[in-house]
């Protein structure tokens, strides 16, 4: 069965420091991986995805993610965090069941960037 | 930039009442989805819809739930007789094709009293 794990409920980082939000996955076949961000009282905003190609994927707002097949990980990174990056981040894997693609989300990681 | 919209943003209802949550997917998208997020929990898949019929539904999507595309733009989720545990944020999403990125709306926060 496909699954996603986000081992950290919360990550705190000082403004200007690099940030990493962790995600590991379990999927049969080639993984299709996504990161979404949710700001307070807002919907899910697409950040980036990995389908194939370069293991380092660049996305919106300066975020990037590194796909590591051997470690089955897809960690979200940013070289220099901003206070405005504080939000809830969800990792998702696309699963195929009964001929339909659906997203399976992790439990989310709350990122707090401290000024 | 086109986006998925949802109405209402908030809905409060009494247990046992029917609610209809509305979504307008991105105009050239063909695949539509509903997800829900109970407060403090993860986002869960409810149902996918293509070509005017349900493609897949989760175990959450029981007989109390139904979806419809009543016209060329709206995509609705109906809960026939709401329960307290239906209180959640409901997200609509759409994609161009079934393999393409799903784009989510801002959600409708449903509170069942």
Q: What is the pLDDT of residues A10-47, one digit of tens each?
A: 999 999 999 999 999 988 777 889 999 998 777 788 89
Under 8 Å between Cβ of B86 and B77: no
What is the Cα–Cα distance from B54 to A108, expressed in whole angstroms? 28
- The token pair that represents B43 in the structure block: 């986002």
- pLDDT of res. B41: 82
Of A90, A97, A104, the CB nearest to B56: A97
Would you place residue A3 in the very low, low, confident or very high pLDDT band (cuts 50, 70, 90)? confident
- pLDDT of res. B79: 97
* Residue carrying the six token digits 């989300």: A105
Would you place residue A100 in the very low, low, confident or very high pLDDT band (cuts 50, 70, 90)? low
Would you place residue A97 in the very low, low, confident or very high pLDDT band (cuts 50, 70, 90)? low
- pLDDT of res. A78: 97
**pLDDT for residue B17 is more than 90:** yes
Q: Which residues of B touch A104 (CB under 8 A)?
A: 45
List residues of chain B with CB under 8 Å from any CB of chain A.
Answer: 4, 6, 33, 35, 41-45, 48, 55-56, 91, 93, 98-99, 101-107
CB contact under 8 A, B56 and A102: yes
What is the Cα–Cα distance from A105 to A107, expressed in whole angstroms? 7
Counting residues of chain B whose pLDDT is more than 90, the rounded percentage is 77
Q: What is the pLDDT of residues B35-93, one digit of tens each?
A: 999 987 888 999 999 999 998 888 889 999 999 998 878 999 999 999 999 999 999 99
* Residue carrying the six token digits 């919106």: A60
How close is the nearest chain B Cα to the Cα of A97, in Å? 8
DSSP run (H or E) holding A35: strand A33-38
Under 8 Å between Cβ of B84 and B111: no
- pLDDT of res. A101: 66
């Amino acid at each position: 069965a496909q699954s996603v794990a986000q081992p950290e409920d919360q990550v705190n980082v000082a403004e200007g420091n690099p940030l990493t939000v962790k995600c590991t996955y379990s999927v049969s076949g080639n993984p299709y991986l996504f990161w979404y961000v949710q700001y307070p009282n807002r919907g899910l905003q697409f950040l980036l995805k990995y389908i194939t190609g370069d293991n380092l994927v660049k996305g919106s707002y300066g975020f990037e993610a590194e796909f590591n097949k051997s470690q089955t990980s897809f960690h979200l990174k940013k070289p220099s965090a901003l206070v405005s990056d504080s939000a809830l981040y969800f990792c998702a894997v696309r699963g195929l069941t009964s001929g339909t693609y659906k997203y399976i989300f992790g439990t989310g990681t709350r990122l707090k960037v401290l000024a | 930039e086109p986006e998925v919209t949802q109405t209402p943003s908030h809905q409060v209802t009494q247990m046992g009442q029917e609610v209809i949550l509305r979504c307008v997917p991105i105009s050239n998208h063909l695949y539509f989805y509903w997800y829900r997020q109970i407060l403090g929990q993860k986002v869960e898949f409810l149902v996918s819809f293509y070509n005017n019929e349900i493609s897949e539904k989760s175990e959450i999507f029981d007989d109390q739930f139904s979806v419809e595309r009543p016209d060329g733009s709206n995509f609705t989720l109906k809960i026939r007789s709401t329960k307290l545990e239906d209180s959640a944020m409901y997200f609509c999403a759409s994609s161009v094709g079934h393999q393409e990125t799903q784009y989510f709306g801002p959600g409708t926060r449903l509170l069942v009293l």
